[in-house]
Amino acid sequence: MLGPTLDTERLTLRPPCAADFDAWAAMLADPVAARFIGGVQAPGGAWRSLAMMTGGWVISGFGNFSVIEKASGRWIGRAGPWQPHGWPGPEVGWAFDRSAWGNGYATEAARRCLGFVFETLGWDRVVHPIDVANAVSIAVAKRIGSALLGPVSLPPPHGAAIVDLYGQSRAAWRACAKAP
């Protein structure tokens, strides 16, 4: 096994595997679901994306988890730690199949991933680079306690895209987690 399996009330988060490919590729083929995560990808691009996220576990000791809905057993998205070379900081990100939208899954998965990166990986801070037009992800970032840090340029091959950077420190996360 590449990494741990994490649970929430409704979700199982586990390292990606080859069995996730069809659902992963379907999400990346949907222009609405893929809009803010690099755009539509053909199956070959989706395979490289799955392999890249899986490879993160091997070379960094962390990576995005596949998110499995407990009630149905189906793959509904990916979420978790990510920090490719040149990235603006250690990220917790999320992307979900459109069929899973509107259920609070991104918030639930992101909260569990924050616990993992701060308590298990020992990160001091976390960021979320989010396109300014992605109101749904901005709302998730705010719900999990992150604040706007300002604009940032993403490294190639992202075309030096300018996005808003949200984030929080481990201390802020702990204070928020203890609040009633």
**Is the model's pLDDT at 173 over the cut of 90?**
yes
In this model, does residue 115 exceed pLDDT 70?
Answer: yes
> Is 70 exceeded by the pLDDT of residue 160?
no
Over 60: is that where the pLDDT of 180 sits?
no
State which H helix or E strand residue 111 sits in. helix 105-115
Q: What single letter denotes the amino acid at residue 177?
A: A
Place of tokens 């920090």: 83
Q: Residue 1: what pLDDT?
A: 65
Binned at pLDDT 50, 70 and 90, residue 176 comes out as confident
Q: Where are the domains of the chain?
A: 6-178
* CA–CA dist 46, 84 (Å, integer): 17
Supply φ then ψ for residue 96, to 5 degrees. Answer: -130, 150
DSSP, collapsed to helix, strand or coil, labels residue 153 as strand
CATH superfamily, domain at 6-178:
Gcn5-related N-acetyltransferase (GNAT) (3.40.630.30)
pLDDT, the chain, mean: 94
The mean pLDDT of 73-89, rounded to a whole number, is: 95
